[in-house]
Structure 1
């Protein structure tokens, strides 16, 4: 099956085998509607299931793969009924504990059966335990196939198990691999080369199925080159969207706010301090923007006590001098009260209510 690159964004998730209306509804809760959305639903972390750990080397808290033979199975009654599967690999033994199980599951877990299990090691009354581990039967003709990549753990929603996510992403990756061009590359080649960035399709493949020798700490910290590739593109898209929004905003009309400057001059003369050079530069920029026939887009940033409030007061006076009313908004009631007191102290002597 061969797909054009843009087909992945047009192909609904229901086109994947095993995805019915209910699964599609669950995926929609996460904003996933097409195959491309699945590819960009990236793992939160990874589990290493590429190697089997002998039971004698287990430690509490480790997430491990163990392999052994079922010695016996029992149902233990206590505060909570549980199914206990005693497993041994010859070097030691461990218990698989299931609080939720069926009669069929119990009957299928018979003595002599070889299992490969994955779970978190916990202390138990008699020995180490795995609580509700994932497991599969090791065929009689050989060992179970080891995982070839790190196992991804995805952000999920109710009704979507991690096994389902791995199956979905596996099918989506198969479609990506069969696509003639992969995912659409929006970054130009010269930019990719200048910053030594991975191709988008390669980065997606890597993050969904990292090799066993992948540097897990880099992935956990979000600084792996594959993650940096996606972060770079996201930042570029964010900057472009802001630039577009700014251009659209510049098409809107706004009244020119200017005045003789008497009120502003009066306030500055009444202040018991002089404005800093930084405050004067900011005021010049704000004053120039307010006199333009388009909305001002400006953010004043400064530490606590740097004098942002007096800058706001002087900007408000420019609007008042131009014959307009001014509203000052604050994020909290306490801050609003503080600003009101400051403005009353500064503006009432100027005859501004």
Structure 2
């Protein structure tokens, strides 16, 4: 056993099982040790068969009184088990000859399962069982039975047998026989930390969590508060922080253009605007300017609530690079948002002699060739586009800054490929990441620790607050009447259809049907329709007509979620809001309240609402603060959905939970810095242990 390192070295693990274990992210013995139970069952008490309750799992022990193969709709093995208090049927649909032979009359079985009512009294389907030798219980010390995350083809019993083998190794390791297990689980935390925080050793913590004694405080264990769990949570969060510090250090080893100048282009841009930047916009711009003066890449995340003016901040950041002769790429997740940026930025930069380039998926043929040529030659100085900017045939002459809008919509690999487009000149581009979906503090500390963060926490003057109400679909006629009244008084309104189907066709059809219904109900109003399947020119024409108040009511799918700015629109109806996340609802609502008129948002829901939906709609009624809404969204939905593919590792946390363990993050951040500076040799092994292959996804 001295050289046990691979999964296939374990008894019973061949290539096929090893492949199945990979579906559970178990590639090594270390992974197996960290594959922890997600709950526990107390199987230490045997219940008399006569005392069983339907649907309540229990352990029973008795004598086999008969076993036969029964042919009904499906062939099954029926075993009658009896103890002093009664009789129960055990039914197995999947069985082999060896199993049938095991069930000879007089055999003592101990079974665990869930009794259900069957044709002849209580039955247990596919109980876990073992044959009791001479009727004796061979468990010397009662322990809770672990239940592990499993996958098709791997039973709990199989997993427990594998875990028992690794635990045996851990025990040998724990009692000071390291020669048996040279490198499996070294304790990587400094000794003084373990003493200071009274943390158990790593092997000790793992052994405990795989087989806790029955007298353990189960509530403490289920809430993740047991010291053995705390030890692992701390180490896992630490590994994530360290992986981000590694990433940051790696990025800052690259060279980037240090931009020093007189800001002449920036001053010209501001001079032609009909408004001045807010204090918050000015502060964030100063932070970006300081970053751009360094000879290594800027990595900055700008968070700003809906309508806080991130586009202007991005434009001001672009000015200094453009003035110094570099190209700037701005990428947005949807064509409608990218088009909005193109319109705004071209309007600002064209009078200053800056040429914009445009590249989206639908730019084809000759137009695409021309766009690629302009980007490659440097003729296009400010390049705006969608995912199309990632494609292999896109080459920049001198890329100095990458601006990514709504970055949680992009996959990690995509951002990496855009960064690489600036590296052929020996320089890495600066990176500015923007989001109008405020990121809860706990997520920012854990998922974005590699980025410096700026917050635009001030809205431009003249914005009006939005009153939000939730109203049942049954009152739809009243709402239609309300739209009629508002529009006849000169206001404009949005009616958003949110049929969240996989099929975009169905979404568009729903919007078309709603538009027809509203045209019939409101014949005197000018009603437009916009959805994702329209041609860009058609969409733009309708949006322009709405902006010019040639339309009173715009029926739309969620394509208007970001980037659409019509100050006169002061009423929004959102159908089926219960189907959307809070961040998306907040984004949609942000399309109104952009002018000085009092604005309203109606959430037209279908009853009955689930508890989660009720919570969401209540949050929307309570607040317009994007950060508060993001915190609530995190509590309701959890971090996985909010992060998208930003940091693949964070969605695969094994023991830590970003919500439950948020209070540990400040301490973990400080410890990560300490470890980074004073114990650099442990950083790599810690990251490898907890993130393994996921660590490389962070390389953005």
- The TM-score bracket by the shorter chain reads 0.7 to 0.9
Deviations 1:18-37 (A, max 9, x none): 43444444445555454333
Question: Which SS does the other structure have where 1:240 is aligned?
Answer: helix
Secondary structure of 1:117's aligned partner? strand
Task: Say if 1:260 and 1:321, in contact at 8 Å, map to a contact too.
Answer: no
Per-residue CA deviation, residues 216-261 of structure 1 (Å, 9 max, x unaligned), is 3444444433222112112222222322332232222111234432
Query: Which digits, 9 at most, give the CA deviation of each residue in 1:41-93, with x for residues without a partner?
Result: 22233222222223344334333212223343343333222222232334343
Partner of residue 593, structure 2:
none
Pairing partner for 1:73 from 67, 74, 86: 67
Once the 2 structures are TM-superposed, how far is the Cα of residue 275 of structure 1 from its aligned partner?
3.0
Unpaired runs of 5+ residues, structure 2, are: 179-184, 357-700
What does 1:91-106 align with in structure 2 at a 5 Å threshold? Answer: 91-106=85-100
Deviation at 1:269, TM superposition (A): 4.3
Tell me the equivalent position of 1:292: 294
Q: Once structures 1 and 2 are overlaid, which stretch shifts more, 321-330 or 140-149?
A: 140-149
The 5 A counterparts of 1:228-243 are 228-243=230-245
Matches within 5 A, 1:48-127: 48-127=42-121
Match of 2:128 in 1: 134
**Structure 1 residue corresponding to 2:303, chosen from 296, 301, 304:** 301
Give CA deviations for 1:130-183 in whole Å, capped at 9, x if unaligned: 211111223335356477222222334554332222222222222222222763
Q: Is the 8 A contact 2:108 2:135 kept in 1?
A: no
Deviations 1:312-350 (A, max 9, x none): 222122221222221111233343233333323443444
Cα RMSD, aligned residues only: 2.9
Q: Whose strand proportion is higher, 1 or 2?
A: 2
| Bigger mean CA offset, 331-340 vs 46-55 | 331-340
| Mapping for residues 332-351 of structure 1, pairs under 5 Å | 332-351=334-353
Moved more, 342-351 or 203-212: 342-351
Instruction: Tell me whether 25-34 or 96-105 shows the greater mean CA deviation.
Output: 25-34
TM-score in terms of structure 1 length: 0.85
**161-170 or 57-66, which deviates more:** 57-66
Q: Unaligned stretches of 5+ in structure 1?
A: none
The residue that corresponds to 1:41 in the other structure is 35
Match of 1:167 among 161, 164, 167: 161
Structure 1 residue 204: Cα displacement: 0.9
Partner of 1:268: helix, strand, or coil? helix
* Contact 2:285–2:313, Cα closer than 8 Å, also in 1: yes
Distance 1:194 1:332, change over 3 A: farther
1:209 aligned to 2:211? yes
Q: Please list every run of at least 4 consecutive aligned residues from structure 1 whose deviation after the TM superposition is greater than 6 angstroms.
A: none
Conservation of the 8 A alpha-carbon contact between 1:49 and 1:146? no
Compared CA separation, residues 151 and 326, structure 1 to 2 (3 A): same
Does residue 152 of the first structure (1) align with residue 146 of the second (2)? yes
Deviation at 1:272? 4.9
Residues 99 and 285 from structure 1, CA distance in 2 versus in 1: closer, same or farther, beyond 3 angstroms? Answer: same
For the residues of structure 1 that align with 2:140 and 2:98, how far apart are their CA atoms?
A: 27
Residues 306 and 211 (structure 1 numbering): CA distance in 2 closer, same or farther, change over 3 Å? farther
Partner Cα separation in structure 1 for residue 115 and residue 344 of structure 2 = 61
SS in 1 for 2:280: helix
Specify the SS of the correspondent of 2:299. coil
User: 2-side partners of 1:341 and 1:139: how far apart?
Assistant: 81
Residue 567 of structure 2 corresponds to which residue in structure 1? none
- Asked if the contact 1:12–1:34 (Cα under 8 Å) also holds between the matched residues in 2, the reply is yes
Aligned positions of 1:319-334 closer than 5 A: 319-334=321-336
* Structure 1 residue aligned with 2:253: 251
User: Within 2, Cα distance between the matches of 1:105 and 1:172?
Assistant: 27
Do the aligned partners of residues 332 and 94 (structure 1) sit closer, same or farther apart at CA in structure 2, a change above 3 Å counting?
farther
**1:270-305 Cα distance to aligned partner (Å, 9 max, x none):** 445543333222211111111221111222233333
The answer as to whether partners of 1:68 and 1:114 remain within 8 angstroms in 2 is yes
Structure 2 residue 9 is matched with structure 1 residue 12: no
Return the alpha-carbon distance in structure 2 between the equivalents of residues 135 and 248 of structure 1: 53
What SS does the corresponding residue of 1:227 show, helix, strand or coil?
A: helix
Conservation of the 8 A alpha-carbon contact between 1:47 and 1:153: yes
Verify the 8 A CA contact 1:49 1:147 in the aligned structure 2. Answer: no
What is the total number of aligned residue pairs between the two structures?
Answer: 347
Is this contact kept in 2: 1:47–1:151, CA < 8 A? yes
CA gap of 1:336–1:123, structure 2 versus 1, over 3 A, is: farther
For the 8 Å contact 1:258–1:321, the answer to whether it is kept is no
Counterpart CA distance in 2 for 1:274 and 1:59 is 72
2:6/2:29 contact within 8 Å kept:
yes
Give the C-alpha shift of residue 116 in structure 1: 0.9
> Which residue pairs with 2:265 in the alignment?
263
